[in-house]
């Protein structure tokens, strides 16, 4: 979560390494030798609206997600899953053209710049979809400049890191590109009905909290039944975790650590509630954000309609200025906050990565002995149960079902009207 402190992350990472090291080594993503795992790729389409497509080995779309709010508008208009890569690019161009995102006729350097990004060595796929796209535009008055960029492994890792925050740096680092893409597809399947970037970010963070809570609740339960011999080994290992047990009440170091674990779980729950309250205060229970969002939608709609109805260039430029001002009013302060949060998250990732390396280097035979007293299968089961039930919890127990339903309908208000006869 964005509001986690370094203290919380350090403790949770230490616990992950202590109780989940076996799963880190042997269960980070699908087995690449599994015949059900198909070679796939990620393809981003960006014209201003920006969307992400995950393709299977036959270059058919298996999942789709928006990269920005204009992308949510595009996805709310049509179905992309099951289309071929060629058909998906054509559908994307059709929707951007018909809704005023593409400029007709002569264009400036910054207009109609269509960037296609693809993971892996797939320049041939780029050439194929561009050839098809140019044929589609051939009989129109739309000039489009195409460009290609490769999505590298580090960028795939970043996608997984941002959306599956329960995974550790080591787990992500050890995944192949195929496994990373599989994880992207998995989380996109969960959020396919959410047409709001902020609501998706909330989903990712609350999901992380619920999974971590389920894991450590299972660990806490098992620690109550751990044999005395394991307690002694465990106490010895605590010296490697840099936890100041002198500040915690308890008769033994083992009891102190269990208290520390329980306190951390409670602090995790507190952070989850703080994050929820912060989100709702900024994006749901406030007229200022809703008013700014509606103003931006109206200004953007005016601009798109002016383009489609071929208004005078001076009028279009006026609408462009108004849309930019509305965008700044909506996202200006939010972007600064997000930028600050990303900086904090980046710092925390660095701390976590350093601690992971330190803990991994300090691992010895004691950790393997401790793991024999813990039911790793049960811990993993609790984690999987938390994952599989979270969407239902998010929509019902946490009360965001209405927000999800409204997120798609909302974008219909941006759809421009074209004057009859134009």
Average pLDDT over residues 308-334: 83
Q: What percent of the chain has pLDDT over 70?
A: 75
To the nearest 10°, report the CA torsion of 177, 183, 184, 185. 110
Give pLDDT tens digits for 212-244. Answer: 888 888 888 887 777 776 667 666 666 655 566
* Confidence class for position 349, pLDDT limits 50, 70, 90: very low
3-state secondary structure the chain: CCCCCHHHHHHHHHHHHHHHHHHHHHCCCCCCCCCCCCCCEEEEEECCCEEEEEECCCCEEEEEEECCHHHHHHHHHCCCCCCEHHHHHHHHHHHHHHCCCCCCECCCCCCCEEEEEEECCCHHHHHHHHHHHHHHHCCCCECCEEEEEEECHHHHHHHHHHHCCCCCHHHHHHCCHHHHHHHHHHHHHHCCCCCCHHHHHHHHHHHHHHHHHHHHHHHHHHHCCCCHHHHHHHHHHHHHHCCCHHHCCCCCHHHHHHHHHHHHHHHHHHHHHHHHHHHHHHHCCCHHHHHHHHHHHHHHHHHHHHHHCCCCHHHHHHHHHHHHHHHHHHHHHHHHHHHHHHHHHHHHHHHHHHHHHHHHHHCCHHHHHHHCCCCHHHHHHHHHHHHHHHHHHHHHHCCCHHHHHHHHHHHHHHCCCCCCCC
Q: Which of 137-151, 166-180, 252-266, 338-352 has the lowest mean pLDDT?
A: 338-352
* Confidence class for position 412, pLDDT limits 50, 70, 90: confident
Average pLDDT over residues 392-399: 81
- How far is C-alpha 335 from the geometric centre of its chain's CA atoms? 17
Distance CA 316, CA 330 (A): 21
Please, are residues 97 and 86 in contact by the beta-carbon 8 Å criterion? no
pLDDT of residue 379 exceeding 60, the answer is yes
pTM for this model (two decimals): 0.79
CA R_g for the chain: 25
Give pLDDT tens digits for 3-39. Answer: 444 444 445 545 555 554 444 333 443 444 444 546 5
């Amino acid at each position: 979560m964005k509001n986690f402190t370094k203290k919380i992350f350090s403790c949770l990472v230490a616990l992950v390494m202590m109780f989940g090291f076996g799963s880190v080594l042997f269960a980070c993503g699908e087995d690449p030798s599994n015949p059900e795992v198909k070679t796939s790729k990620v393809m981003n389409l960006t014209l201003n609206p920006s969307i992400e497509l995950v393709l299977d080995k036959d270059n058919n779309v298996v999942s789709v997600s928006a990269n920005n709010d204009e992308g949510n508008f595009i996805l709310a208009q049509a179905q992309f899953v099951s289309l071929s890569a060629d058909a998906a690019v054509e559908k994307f161009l059709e929707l951007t053209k018909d809704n005023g995102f593409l400029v007709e006729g002569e264009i400036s350097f910054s207009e109609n710049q269509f960037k296609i990004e693809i993971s892996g060595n797939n320049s041939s796929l780029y050439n194929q979809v561009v050839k098809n796209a140019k044929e589609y535009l051939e009989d129109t008055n739309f000039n489009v400049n195409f460009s290609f960029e490769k999505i590298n492994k580090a960028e795939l890792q970043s996608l997984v890191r941002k959306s599956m925050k329960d995974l550790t740096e080591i787990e992500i680092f050890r995944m192949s590109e195929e496994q990373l893409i599989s994880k992207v597809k998995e989380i996109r399947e969960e959020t396919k009905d959410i047409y709001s970037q902020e609501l998706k970010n909330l989903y990712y963070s609350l999901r992380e909290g619920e999974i971590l809570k389920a894991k450590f609740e299972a660990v806490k339960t098992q620690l109550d039944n751990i044999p005395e011999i394991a307690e002694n080994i465990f106490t010895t290992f605590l010296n490697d975790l840099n936890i100041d047990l002198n500040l915690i009440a308890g008769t033994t170091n083992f009891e102190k650590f269990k208290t520390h674990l329980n306190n951390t779980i409670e602090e995790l729950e507190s952070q989850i509630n703080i994050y929820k309250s912060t989100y709702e205060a900024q994006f749901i229970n406030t007229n200022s954000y809703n008013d700014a969002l509606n103003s931006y939608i109206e200004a953007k709609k005016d601009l798109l309609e002016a383009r489609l109805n071929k208004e005078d260039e001076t009028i279009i430029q006026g609408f462009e200025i108004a849309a930019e001002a509305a965008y700044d009013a909506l996202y200006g302060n939010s972007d600064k906050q997000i930028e600050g949060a990303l900086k904090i998250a980046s710092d925390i990732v660095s701390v976590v990565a350093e601690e992971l390396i330190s803990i991994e280097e300090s691992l010895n035979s004691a950790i393997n002995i401790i793991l024999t007293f813990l039911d790793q299968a049960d811990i993993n089961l609790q984690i999987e149960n938390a994952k599989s039930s979270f969407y239902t919890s998010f929509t019902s127990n946490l009360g965001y079902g209405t927000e999800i339903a409204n997120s798609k309908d909302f974008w219909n208000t941006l759809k421009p009207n074209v004057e009859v006869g134009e």
